[in-house]
Amino acid sequence: MTKMFLTLRKQHWAFPPEFHLPRLSLPHLNQKMIIALVILVPILLLTTFADWLPLQKPLQTNLRAIMQWPSHVHPFGTDRMGRDVLSRTLAGVQLSLVVGFSVAFIAMSFGLFFGTLAGLFGRAVDRAIMTVVDIFLAFPSLLLAIGLVSIVGTGLGPVVMAISLADVPRFIRLQRSLVLSLRSRAYIDAARTVNASQWWLMTRHIAPNTISPLLVAASIAAAHAILVEASLSFLGLGIMPPAPSLGNIIRDGQTYLEQAWWISTLPGVVILLIAISLHFLSDGIREALDPRARK
Amino acid sequence: MLAYSLKRILQLIVTTLGVVTLVFFTLRLIPGDAASAMAGDTLSGEALQRLREQMGLSRPLGEQYFSYLRGLLSFKLGETITTGLSISSLLLSAIPITLTIALATITLALSIAVPLGTMAAFMAHKGYRTLDNLITGAAMLADLMPSFWTALVFLLLFSLTLGIFPASGTISLEDPRAFLMRLALPVLVLSVTQIAAMARITRTAVLEVLSEDYIRTARSMGWSELQVLFRHALKNAALPIVTIVGLSFGSLLNGTVIVEFIFTIPGIGSLLVYGINSRDYQLVQTLIVFYALIFVTVNFVTDLVYKKLDPRVQF
């Protein structure tokens, strides 16, 4: 009788109610997400279809039109080799977005895995993981990325790797704190009483409930990664010219700041716009998922 | 407090040792080794071996590690490979400049951000949304501006167009006025981000305190609004503000690398970029360790101040 009761209960309770994954269908878009999309979508469209725009190619030089003022032919002007700054900026944005989203994805995945491990198993596992995390967190993030780039070299892959490695510890720490706060909830105890395995707890009860805060952090991390990549390239340690990246375009223009202010300033405005939109996106996701955050 | 400080000091030592070990062994992971990475294709055979010996790379790894530790402890850090200058003396001349910039930025940022954030909180509390929205919006914008871009815009505006601050020139303490004028622009640039972060935290903290019972009590006792705001609210909001000063020190250090690069200021940031570009791993390794050391120490001090301000805090 007791046994039957338990199996019944197991069927009934061990399956969690549908967990609340973000429902991001159109009616659920809030004001902040709309602001984010209004900025982000045109930028995405422009970068995706940059090849079809009536612009000079990013690497094409034109020595008869060097350092020209912004005009309808060159909306962002031209640089010292007569290259079109807008088309270079769009190519740079493409690269920035790749960097931003890969870093966010990589950092989030590793953070999810190691953070859950640390939080759920505690003791030695936790101590081992957190010791390493604390050592990594002793470096300011850009400096850690600079140090890593000096070892792994320049270019897209190494830069993504360096920035991700600098971000992973932050995600591990976040995920661990989320897991710790979830671990003592009543529904976890309930699942434990019906003999749910660690794996089951982890994949069915804990991880799904930490996804939303992680997503919020990930969109901030994407914005941050874009800024770090730009900073690295600006310092000459990221993407190497002639391949355009927002950072090295701005660095290029630095020398001609007085004669051609547009080379440096306009791509910077684009970085700022992307960063703003990603921040609105993260605020928007948070509001959509956590009604308490709405004020 | 004493037990707590001791525990934190122990933690500090462990973290520092971890940092040194991590940096040391990571740099040994370079494909080939540091010597061949540095030489590129320019050296071969015997010359490369000589460089290796000069850099101490031919000794066993354990011996290299301990001699490096000994060097750090006695501040004998060897010479840079490219110029042969002593790293310790380079650091001694560079660290004060970077720290001056950092401390000046924190002072300037706090003196602007705290009143600004308090004002925004007060306005939000009273229901005047416009000014509050204006301040919060500006803070968000300032927070997201990449510092190298802000630096270039300020350079364009304040030195190339208006001619207020010099964009280049020597830096020495012998001419204090020139020294200040030269450092003014970098400090301004770094302050922008710091003010944004601090003002935001101040606003949230003060706003939270303003709805406490003891604030209502203070009001009912006849204190004026200003007295309530600065003597009661701000004092109780100090904790998060101290925390953000400590936390944002990391981003401040990041920023110093960039402004030093742009304004050609001979601080540790410029040294670092120089070290990486000339593949001087000895120098890079030491600088990264020092950055971490500064950051870890600041966090340690922040924790102590935190504990001092709020004895209830348990760690």
B261 pLDDT more than 80: yes
- Whether residue B97 sits in one domain with residue B69: no
Of the candidates B15, B149, B295, the beta carbon closest to that of A250 is on B149
B208 pLDDT more than 80: yes
Q: Is the ipTM of this complex over 0.90?
A: no
pLDDT tens track for B40-91 = 666 667 777 777 777 667 777 788 888 888 888 887 777 777 777 788 888 8
pLDDT tens track for A33-75 = 888 899 999 998 988 887 887 777 777 777 777 777 788 777 7
Chain B contact probe: residue of A40, A235, A245 with most B CBs at under 10 A: A235
- Whether residue B13 sits in one domain with residue B132: no
Of the candidates A236, A261, A275, the beta carbon closest to that of B156 is on A261
Of how many residues is chain B composed?
315
- Whether residue B135 sits in one domain with residue B11: no
Q: What is the rounded distance in angstroms from the CA atom of residue B157 to the CA atom of residue A175?
A: 44
Q: Exposed (0-12), middle (13-18) or buried (19+): which is B224, by Cβ within 10 Å?
A: exposed
Question: In chain A, which residue ranges form alpha helices assigned H by DSSP?
Answer: 2-13, 31-48, 85-121, 123-136, 141-152, 156-183, 186-193, 198-200, 207-234, 246-254, 262-289
End-to-end CA distance of chain A: 51
Q: How many CB pairs under 8 A join A and B?
A: 116
Q: Give the residue-averaged pLDDT of A86-110.
A: 91
- Whether residue B258 sits in one domain with residue B159: yes
Token pair for residue A93?
Answer: 């944005």
Within a domain: residue B86? no
Domain coverage including residue B147:
93-309
Within a domain: residue B83? no
Within a domain: residue B81? no
- Whether residue B150 sits in one domain with residue B35: no
Within a domain: residue B276? yes
Within a domain: residue B80? no
Q: Between chains, do B160 and A231 touch, taking CB under 8 Å as contact?
A: no
Q: How far is B265 from chain A (nearest CA, A)?
A: 14
Q: Tell me, what CATH number does B187's domain have?
A: 1.10.3720.10
Within a domain: residue B16? yes
Phi (first) and psi of residue B96, to 5 degrees: -60, -35
- Looking at the structure of chain B, the number of domains it has is 2
Q: Give the residue-averaged pLDDT of A161-171.
A: 91
On whether any CB of chain B is under 8 Å from the CB of A141, the answer is yes
Within a domain: residue B30? yes
Of the candidates A142, A234, A265, the beta carbon closest to that of B254 is on A142
What residue of B is the nearest CA neighbor of A234? B148
Q: Between chains, do B146 and A227 touch, taking CB under 8 Å as contact?
A: yes
Q: Between chains, do B30 and A227 touch, taking CB under 8 Å as contact?
A: no
- Whether residue B192 sits in one domain with residue B269: yes
Within a domain: residue B288? yes
- Whether residue B99 sits in one domain with residue B32: no
- Whether residue B282 sits in one domain with residue B176: yes
Measured between beta carbons, the chain B residues lying within 8 angstroms of A142 are 254, 257
- Whether residue B224 sits in one domain with residue B196: yes
Cβ atoms of A256 and B280 closer than 8 Å? no
- Whether residue B145 sits in one domain with residue B286: yes
Q: Between chains, do A138 and B262 touch, taking CB under 8 Å as contact?
A: no
pLDDT tens track for A177-186 = 888 888 888 8
Q: How confident is the model at residue B255 (pLDDT cuts 50, 70, 90)?
A: very high
- Whether residue B187 sits in one domain with residue B55: no
- Whether residue B304 sits in one domain with residue B159: yes
